[in-house]
Amino acid sequence: MSACGNCGWPDDEPSEVISRHRTSEGVLSYVRCVCGRIELRMTPYGSASPIAAVTPAD
C-alpha cells in the first residue's frame, strides 16, 4: 500500500480519476489527489485477483 508523496493520502482513494487509457501494457490512469498532485499510474492487466486459473498439464 502506498500513499501520495506530497500529502500522504492513500493511493487507493484518489479524489478524482481524470482519465483512463487502455494500452498494450495495462490501464494507464491519471489520478488527482486531494492535494492537487496529479499522478500517472499504470495498472498492468492481471494485477487484480484472478477469477479463474488453469494449470497446464505437462
Tell me the torsion sign for CA atoms 47, 49, 51, 55.
positive
Based on the shown chain and the rule CB under 5 A, indicate whether residue 31 belongs to the binding site for Zn ion: no
**Rg of the chain, C-alpha, whole Å:** 15
Closer by beta carbon to Zn ion, 7 or else 42: 7
- Using CB under 5 A as the binding criterion, the count of chain residues that bind Zn ion stands at 7
Residue 6, classed as helix, strand or coil, is coil
Residue 4 beta carbon to Zn ion: minimum distance, rounded to whole angstroms: 3
Site residues for Zn ion per CB under 5 A = 4, 6-7, 9, 33, 35, 37
